[in-house]
Amino acid sequence: MNLTFAPEEVRDIAAAWLLLSLAFAFFMIRLSGRALLPDPTTVPPVFLATVFGASVATVGVGFLCHELAHKVVAVHYGQVAAFRADYGMLGLAVLGGLAGFIFAAPGAVHHRGYLTPREHGLIALAGPAVNVALAFAFAPLLLFGGLAGSVGQLGVTINGFLAGFNMIPFGPLDGATVRKWDTGAFAVSFAVCAGLGAVAFLFVGFPF
């Protein structure tokens, strides 16, 4: 398998990782009750750095692994695949985080070449499946206090959200592609991903 990254793709991945992490950091700061607008100086720099660092390690990693999973499986099936950032949507995500809401569509892996419906479905399913695995990987950190526990809490919540959201069978989301391939596979994967997302939000939540 020839997995390569052009300089433009590395740039897009890095920009999407950092800007999406920043958007979620702003969102969590607003959830914590601290103000960012109209006076960002009310947020202590150490707190901002802590939340942003935790966001990079959880939101950023969840996003990056999700997109890399799509690419790895696409390349496995002989596709030419690359991630392309949507800078307009990334800007909207940052502004939304500042305003206290989040809507993230940072970009997508685009691929070309012949695919069977099954291959197309498995490429789509790879992203949410990785987020499910990451949620369980972060879960042991919930046993700890302090920053480690906060990272675990955020890692479980964010990856549960990414898994559940992306399995919605609508538009360009992964769930629509999986359902088009196999309704049975979609039903099982949607139940797992949506169930994990619901549990993460209701019983784990945001740490900040």
Alpha-carbon distances of 40 from 70, 98, 207, rounded to whole Å:
37, 10, 21
pLDDT digits (tens, 9 = 90+) for 15-25: 999 999 999 99
pLDDT digits (tens, 9 = 90+) for 128-185: 999 999 999 999 999 999 999 999 999 999 999 999 999 999 988 999 999 999 999 9
184 lies in some domain: yes
2 lies in some domain: no
| Catalytic pick among 8, 9, 67, 119 | 67
Burial pattern 77-97, b for ≥16 Cβ within 10 A else e, equals bebebbbebeeebbeebbebb
Active site residue 119: no
**Number of separate domains in the chain:** 1
69 lies in some domain: yes
1 lies in some domain: no
Instruction: Provide the whole-model pTM.
Output: 0.93
Q: Which domain holds residue 93?
A: 7-110+117-204
